[in-house]
Chain A
Amino acid sequence: MTIYEKSFSCHRISEGVAEGEVIVSKDDIMFYLVNPETGEVIEKGHDLEGRSIAGKILVFPGGKGSSVVQADGLYQLTMKQNAPKAMIIQNPDTVLVSSAIIMEVPMVDQLDASFYAALKDGCRLRVDANSQIVEFI
């Protein structure tokens, strides 16, 4: 019984397994306007403005922005060890998907509405993109 309450199936986009604290963004994310030195979102008016995504499980609707900046933003964050540990999205697009694959950041989508209902900022998740399972821990 418990397993159904805390474990959800998902669809793998980019391989890998990660555990960590959740940060939820209502807005789409463009990694170029995230300070690589701190992981802090610096985009004016963004839902996560001033908050750090470094080492977090980042839950957000999808990516936005040009076809080069996602990869560069994620690359800079990774170089400074401030990239998110894993990403959970709703609207995959090729730019974000290929950036995650190339930079080897685990990413999944297709989580059930009940997952989003149970999700809270700051809770802990284990994202297993390989087995296509997301668990509350």
Chain B
Amino acid sequence: MKDKHFLSIPVYRLHVTWMQLPNQNIFLQNMSNITHLIPKGGRIVDLTKFEREMLEGKHGEGTAIAMKIQVAIGDSFHAKRMVPITRAHVALSNQEADLWFAEKLLKAGAHCKIPPTVNPGFNLNYFKSVGKVTDEFASLMQRTHDTYKALGAVLSYNCTPYIQTNVPFFGEVTAFSESSATPYVNSVWGARSNREAAQSALCAAITGVVPEYGLLLDENRYGDILVKVEADIKSDFEYQLLGYMGKKIGPGIPVFTGLPTPITPEAFMNLGAQLNTSGAYGMFHVLGVTPEAPTMEAAFGGKEPKRIVTITNEDLQDILSQISEPGDQKIDFAMFGCPHFTLRQVQIIAERIQGKKLAVEMWILTSSHTKEMAQRMGLLEVIREAGGEIVSDTCPDQPCWHYLSGKTGITDSPKCAYYPKRRGLNFIIRDLETCIDAALRGEID
């Protein structure tokens, strides 16, 4: 019965009439009132003359709305001032709330001071060409595209900008939303970003500033949870499960020990993506590996951890059995690239299926850069000959996959299994090699 629930939701989600929104007057109803979001008893965030002018609408109503929201966020976290950013990434989702908000800002005249890279929706040209989207879904993506284009975003449509297109330097102040992106820029690159929402990151891109609190400040970047990993970490896949231990790890900044080195970029990508699926983490440290954790002293700022958590093989097995559909069954498709696969991951697949035929559909989601590289290097040809496809600019949690509703796929990513549940997609979760072999056989042990 529950599956029917899931199936019914996406249909409803597109039946909301967009034109009704401004008249319903239930959101942002007081946004034209400058004082609306300023707390009684005075604002805490101290603004410069220019910032105050933005807030007061001298740089347009769109900028004023963005600034009001950011000041309210700053106040709730006791920020003392705003600070400039030099990069941003907006987790555009092509969902109704996201489009509603972006269109609202655009209509009010907003334009990005800092052009942000953006997340994928779905690749409109591709899915139209294969006839997998209705006009309704196509129009949603078209409107998302038009809106972000007009706002001045970099239309990268990729959820791993920290690998290729938007790589910050150590200490750089940024506004990054997206599950794997915020922890990657903080933890691996040592840049500074709070765990922005898609909407707050868009506000930051428009105003060019962020409230200074949380992970922007030295004192809040220290770890406070010691996570001793006793489980065997054999591949990038164990990082998916380790990241999914958010409930056991608890809120805070984890410092991982016991991880074998070297650690791949994909392992860090998986860890961050899953930490922010099972919980809410802006940053982690890996002792002796990530730049702000050369020693225990540096990682914890000389303090004792508030909590010590041990992760065993049993923990990882337990979590896998909780989140994965059971094995020993036929599968209908394979889906990879949540987060978007890197070139190395595409290579792993190409090598393993070269000269063979896949028994089921295989979808590999990547950035347009990675797809271009894969094509140049002959990997795309190998994958297509086996019956698979690389699709750029596309996320698994999008309406273009509705034709897979009620079917069971295989993936290496718990995040890929989690969100599309609402669209009726079921997933078995295994390590990449096992997934590839299952796709060749059409079934999983």
Contact = CB atoms under 8 A, between A and B. Distances in A.
A93 B95 contact: no
A66 B279 contact: no
A38 to B, nearest CB: 9
Given A33-B421, A62-B251, A71 B197 contact: yes
B343 to A, nearest CB: 24
B98 interface: yes
Given A36-B9, A67-B198, A95 B97 contact: no
Interface string B80-102: 00000000000111011110110
B28 to A, nearest CB: 7
A12 B44 CA distance: 12
A102 B199 contact: yes
Contacts of A52: none
Nearest to A96: B280
Interface string B320-362: 0010000000000000000000000000000000000000000
B422 interface: yes
A42 B13 CA distance: 16
B306 interface: no
B274 to A, nearest CB: 11
A12 B280 CA distance: 21
A76 to B, nearest CB: 7
A71 B199 contact: yes
B5 A42 contact: yes
Interface residues of B, number: 59
Contacts of A45: 322
Nearest to B24: A79
Contact of B76 (A35, A65, A69, A97): A97
A128 B92 CA distance: 33
A112 to B, nearest CB: 18
A62 B13 contact: no
A36 B96 CA distance: 13
B27 A102 contact: yes
A103 B72 contact: no
Given A42-B5, A66-B277, A76-B97, A12 B39 contact: yes
Contacts of A27: 247
A94 B276 CA distance: 13
Nearest to A103: B27
A65 B421 contact: no
A92 B251 contact: no
Residue from B13, B29, B37, B95 with most neighbouring chain A CB atoms (10 Å): B95
Contact of A13 (B5, B36, B76, B200): B76
Contacts of B100: 75
Contacts of A61: 251
Interface in A27-63: 27-28, 32-33, 35-37, 42, 45, 61-63
Contacts of B8: 37
B95 A98 contact: no
Contact of A101 (B2, B37, B282): B37
Nearest to A75: B97
A93 B151 CA distance: 26
A132 to B, nearest CB: 9
Interface stretch (B52-60, B177-185, B224-232, B261-269): B177-185
A32 B246 CA distance: 18
Contacts of B214: 94
B12 A37 contact: yes
B63 interface: no
B69 interface: yes
B134 to A, nearest CB: 20
Contact of B197 (A68, A130, A131): A68
Interface of B: 2, 5-6, 8-9, 12-13, 16, 26-29, 36-37, 39-40, 69, 72-73, 75-77, 91-93, 95-98, 100-101, 119, 177-179, 182, 194-201, 214, 246-247, 251, 276-280, 282, 322, 415, 419, 421-422
Interface of A: 11-15, 27-28, 32-33, 35-37, 42, 45, 61-72, 74-76, 78-79, 91-99, 101-104, 130-131
26 contacts: A11-B76, A12-B76, A15-B37, A15-B72, A28-B280, A35-B9, A37-B9, A45-B322, A64-B279, A66-B91, A66-B178, A66-B277, A67-B91, A67-B182, A67-B197, A68-B92, A68-B177, A69-B93, A70-B197, A71-B198, A75-B100, A97-B77, A101-B37, A101-B73, A104-B28, A104-B29
Q: State the 3 A-B residue pairs at the shortest beta-carbon distance, nearest first.
A: A75-B97, A67-B177, A68-B93
